[in-house]
Amino acid sequence: MHAVPPWLSGVRPALESAVPDWFATFTPPPNPARRSAVLALFGPRETGRSGQAPSGQLDPAGSIEVVLTERARGMRNHAAQVSFPGGHEDPGDGGPIGAAVREAQEEVGIDPGSVAVIDTLPALYMHPSQNAVTPVLGWWTQPHPIRAVDAAEVARVVRADLEHVLDPANRFTAVAPGGYTSPGFAVDGLIIWGFTANLLDHILDLAGLTRPWDEADHRPLPDYLLRPYADLRPRE
């Protein structure tokens, strides 16, 4: 068992003291058409290290991972996109926490008993799909091997080293046709942008982990990431 690091347990309190504009902008309506949840799961590497330096402060260099998935390119929605494990809430889930943990088990084989749920973050409303997505913050107390359970849904599972995620050299501003921009991360052969990158960026900020990076480094997204969002392209 690995104790929850203070930086992670402090994310929700930091948000409540000063709600970021992104959360305020995407506040869901009272009765959204759909509800989903994602599991932002952090944990120590399988090296026996707790992710805490002797000083009690986070030592992220090679000691903490975050679980990400690359969606299968044949999927109807969000094909080829990088995301946290998650999906729609089912009636038997009992809410977003149950949905996020269930989906993580179904998608990548996470043992629910190995997840310590820290808290939920405010739901975010995805206007095109009328979907209210609740981020669930979790700590992986007992890391174990995971994999893509259903290859038709998940192409790849990545346990991304937090040190690589935090490295300013791996950060940029992602640019899509139509003028849309978001934070971007290039990690383990993945390009993280859009909703997932925004959520990851805000979690790191609220945790006090973000390092200065060059927001003026604008990089266009590759075509394979844009195909599911053809409506972003300028009309001719």
CA distances (Å), origin 222, targets 106, 161, 162, 219 = 29, 23, 24, 9
Spatial CA neighbour of 204 closest among 45, 16, 22, 10: 10
Tokens 């290859």 belong to 151
Residue type, 158: V
* φ, ψ for residue 196, nearest 5 deg: -65, -45
What is the model's pLDDT at position 15?
Answer: 97
Tokens 């971007």 belong to 184
In angstroms, the CA 231 to CA 201 distance is 25
CB 154 within 8 A of CB 143: no
Q: Mind listing the domains of the chain with CATH numbers?
A: 6-162 (3.90.79.10)
CB 68 within 8 A of CB 190: yes
What is the model's pLDDT at position 151?
Answer: 87
What is the model's pLDDT at position 99?
Answer: 99
Three-state secondary-structure class, residue 134: strand
pTM of the model: 0.89
CB 177 within 8 A of CB 234: yes
Spatial CA neighbour of 93 closest among 39, 24, 166: 39
pLDDT tens, the chain, 236 aa long: 678 999 999 999 999 999 999 999 999 999 999 999 999 999 997 654 343 333 334 344 448 999 999 998 766 666 679 999 999 999 999 999 999 999 999 999 999 999 999 999 999 999 888 999 999 999 999 999 999 998 888 999 999 999 999 999 999 999 998 889 999 999 999 999 999 999 999 999 999 999 999 999 999 999 889 876 664 444 33
The neighbour count for residue 74, using CB atoms within 10 Å, is 11
CB 170 within 8 A of CB 186: yes
